[in-house]
Chains A and B, each alone.
Chain A
């Protein structure tokens, strides 16, 4: 089992839909959880970051961490065509000089 699993997609939704992107993980020591967004032919950029459990909201985006289930989610409300991109989850262990562990990414397409 890989440390981080992400739904492979691709995912296509109509404009205005609520999108849920998910990752599961096996390492209970992960405490930093991130979502990167990667537009076509560009490098990944950090979209959101959370520490430990709970929710974090930034505009139309909400990141949610459920450590008891080892499950993280990214919700996109009122999705726009400009949200079309590949989304990668990433996690790390604090205080252990560890590298980020990435999911494989899911490609989202929002249809006008």
Chain B
């Protein structure tokens, strides 16, 4: 059982370049999300999706784009990379948002380390 798979694990970009971080899950989870993790800042939500075709902004969405065409995949696009986007990015999935019988527990990928020069 692979869980949440992120690619690439490492990437170096030059300012202004674009790229896509891939995320796939095999748990049939409806909810998927992207976080960035920076020292002293904790996990910050970038974008999330509650199902195929539905996406919404999180806490720090600027400079990022997402789409959700299938239940399994939730790619994150950096449109024009900036040094401030140097970070570790985590994709996470869940059965759904917290509800009466669902804690909202998130399952995380191993992370993608991005450096923007």
Contact = CB atoms under 8 A, between A and B. Distances in A.
Interface centre among B4, B45, B104 (most CB of A within 10 A): B104
Contacts, number: 70
A105 to B, nearest CB: 6
Interface stretch (A11-19, A55-63, A71-79, A86-94): A86-94
> Could you say which interface size class chain A belongs to?
20 to 34
Nearest to A45: B108
Contacts of B111: 41-43
Q: Is the interface of B mostly helix, strand, loop or mixed?
A: loop
B99 interface: yes
Given A41-B111, A44-B108, A99-B104, A104 B97 contact: no
> Could you say which interface size class chain B belongs to?
20 to 34
A32 B103 contact: yes
Interface centre among A8, A88, A92, A103 (most CB of B within 10 A): A92
